[in-house]
Amino acid sequence: MNVLKQLKEFYWHEKKWLFASIFFLMCSTALGLVYPNLLRFLIDDVIRAENYSLVPYIALSVIGVIAVKASFQFLHGFTGGRLGNTVAYNLRNALYSKLQYLAFQYYDRAKTGDLMSRLTADLEAIRQFIGFGFAQVLNVFLMLGFGTIMMLTLSWQLTLVTFVTVPFIAITALRFEKTVHPAFRSVRKAMSNLTTAVQENITGVRTVKSFAREPYEVEKFSHRSEDYKANHITLAFAWAKFFPLMELLSNFCIVLLLTVGGWFVIDGKMTIGELVAFFSVVWYVIAPMRDIGLHINNYTQSKASGERVLEILHQYMHVKDKTGASVLKKDQVQGSVKFEKVTFAYTDKEPALTDFNVDAPAGTVIGLLGPTGAGKSTVIQLLMRAYNIREGRITLDGQDIRDISLTSLREQIALVFQETFLFSSSIRNNIAYSRRDVSMDEIIRAAKLAKAHDFIMELPEGYDTIVGERGMGLSGGQKQRIAIARAFLRDPKILILDDATSAVDMETEHEIQAGFQELMKGRTTFIIAHRISSLKHADQIIVLDHGKIVQRGTHEQLLREPGRYYETYKIQYSDHPSLVKKQIERRLAK
């Protein structure tokens, strides 16, 4: 019930449909009590009394009860369905919204397949229970109450006999719930692992085929499928033990009633019509208790699913707007960025950045160079507030970025990542993704600046060409140029190029760099690159190693001193010894 209580905000405002669903089910249940009375009347007052003139009236009564009961069942189905789907809609939107605003560190450990399972299978289980299962659980108590009252009016002695087995049925049901709930949690987890395996395999199918690892993937999937099967078998075993025991207890109750009730009829303590009516009513007590396993099953599924959904909804927002955060106006932002003694670690291990200091006045170009894991991308992630820093601060135009709303901060920034991501949509929509309202002329201009226009026009449908999932169907260079065009269209105050030309050849890189020169005018730019050619025009180049600044200066300054920058330069230009020789002579002359 604690899970339902925590989910209350998603269904309580729809309580009118919940109460309506319960009311119509209650009416349908109450009408069912008419049948035993009709049976008693038919046997005692019509058949035994040979008063057959009443048969048409009984038939009409039965037809009327059936029609009215069917109407109530329809209304219960409609209101329950509306309630369940509305709750699922609200939960789905809340989950998706939460996922959009969770910090990067959540996705560092989250699995796509598991998240998809929570958004689909788990939500479906919750929808079914809140829409219908909750009313059906309440209906169990209604049937027990109505049935008990009716049975007492017919024979209090037989009612006591009936309730001899009820405590045993209840205890069995409670023990079943304690067994089946952990089993359902395991099944849900196994299903998530299975979904993750499928998602990763489909996403990385080119890698799988390139390395001929199909047998390994089949075996990995088989192991996870085996785990899913094993958990389902455990669940099936619990069910297999439960239902025969419930059937045994129910039938034992019937045998007792037949014995005692038959003796009452023979002894004249009750009529045969009353006994038949009692047997009809007794199922209002036995059936709910026997079927309580089904209701417990539905409740347990929804409970396990609700717990998994709440895990996301209750995730702590590591990066969020502080109270009273300021909203930046684009025309008032200059773009001056400053890192002051920034220290940051992704985990409790070695810091990714240590005592990092950089002053980037508005309009300057900052280059970041260093080996993999040196902390280059971390600098960019912190500037975007993808993570919160441990020590120090980062300012934009002198204002701590933690005092600025996330949306308005990121609206001042355009990024081109090393790993380009494109949506399964048209090229036009992928370029225009960075802005809400944009004209086709602006899209074309951005594509031309990124040197993407020519290859786009060669495609079958030009800018309306639909790219495959994650940009499948385009080369790495083509995808990256579309991403660069997207950044051009953003018209940012701060531009971030995270190895943005790594997937293009040298000639294309030179062409794109020419476009960058125009885009970078008047904008603060951070360039992460492995190629010296991408950094040599930067106003300041920061060389990083293990999260620390080991060198700082312009291209010319860094070539005059020994260190990682000059060593990188020699390696990259080893095919051009004359250039290296000139640089060495220049250093010696200094």
Contact criterion met (CB below 8 Å) for 147 and 163: no
CATH of the domain spanning 327-409+492-590: 3.40.50.300
What does pLDDT average to over the chain?
80
Averaged pLDDT for residues 556-581: 75
Share of the chain above pLDDT 90, in %: 9
Assign 3-class secondary structure to 48-75. CCCCHHHHHHHHHHHHHHHHHHHHHHHH
Superfamily the domain 2-313 falls into? ABC transporter type 1, transmembrane domain (1.20.1560.10)
414-449 pLDDT, tens digit each: 888 777 778 878 889 888 887 878 889 988 988 888
CATH number among 3.40.109.10, 1.10.260.40, 3.40.50.300, 3.40.50.2000, domain 413-485? 3.40.50.300
Task: Count CA atoms closer than 13 A to 136's CA, side-chain side.
Answer: 21
For the entire predicted model, the pTM comes to 0.69
The phi and psi torsions of 343 (rounded to 5 degrees) equal -125, 135
pLDDT at 276: 79
Residue 327: strand, helix, or coil: coil
So what's the pLDDT on residue 293? 63
Answer for the pair 172, 289: CB distance below 8 angstroms, yes or no: no
Q: What is the pLDDT of residues 506-524, one digit of tens each?
A: 666 666 666 667 677 788 9
pLDDT of residue 583: 55
Nearest to 335 by CA among 517, 525, 488, 539: 525
Share of the chain above pLDDT 70, in %: 87
Given a contact cutoff of 8 angstroms between Cβ atoms, the answer to whether 412 and 396 are in contact is yes
CA distance 444 to 459: 15
Q: Write down the pLDDT at residue 361.
A: 92
Domain boundaries, the chain: 2-313, 327-409+492-590, 413-485
Q: What's the rounded Cα separation, in Å, for the pair 367 and 539?
A: 8
DSSP string, 339-364: EEEEEE-SSSSS-SEEEEEEEE-TT-
Q: Is the pLDDT of residue 582 over 60?
A: no
- Give the model confidence (pLDDT) of 306-325 as tens digits: 888 888 888 888 888 888 88
Taking residues 257-266, what's their average pLDDT?
A: 80
Question: What is residue 291's predicted lDDT score, i.e. its pLDDT?
Answer: 67
Distance in angstroms (rounded) separating the CA atoms of residues 485 and 551 = 32
Average pLDDT over residues 262-280: 79
* Ramachandran area for residue 365 (φ above 0: left; ψ -120 to 50: alpha; else beta): beta
Is the predicted pLDDT of residue 588 greater than 50, yes or no? no
319/338 Cα distance (integer angstroms): 20
Tens digits of residue pLDDT in 180-209: 767 777 877 787 777 777 766 766 666 666
Instruction: Check for a shared fold between 2-313 and 327-409+492-590.
Output: no
How far is 178 from 173, CA to CA, in rounded Å? 9
Contact 150, 36 (CB under 8 A): yes
Q: Which of 211-215, 280-284, 327-331, 463-467 has the highest mean pLDDT?
A: 463-467
Position 34 pLDDT exceeds 50: yes
Distance CA 319, CA 387 (A): 6
Q: What is the SS3 assignment for 404? A: strand
Pick from 181-185, 448-452, 525-529: least confident: 181-185
Write the pLDDT tens digit of every residue in 92-138.
Answer: 888 888 888 887 777 777 777 778 878 887 888 888 888 887 787 77
| Best mean pLDDT range from 100-114, 143-157, 185-199, 550-564 | 550-564
Residues 144/313, Cβ–Cβ less than 8 Å: no
Mean pLDDT is lowest, of 29-33, 273-277, 580-584, for 580-584
Q: Convert the pLDDT of each residue in 36-85 to its tens digit.
A: 777 777 777 777 777 777 777 778 887 888 888 889 889 988 998 888 88
Structure tokens at 559: 């070539």
The conformation of residue 425, written as its DSSP 8-state character, comes to S
Task: Let me know: does 258 contact 162? Beta carbons within 8 Å.
Answer: no
The whole-angstrom separation of Cα 352 and Cα 336 is 24
Q: How far is CA 455 from CA 389, 452, 460, 508, 511, in A?
A: 42, 6, 10, 12, 14
Q: What would the two tokens of residue 302 be?
A: 């929804």
Give the pLDDT confidence score for residue 154 in this predicted structure.
Answer: 79
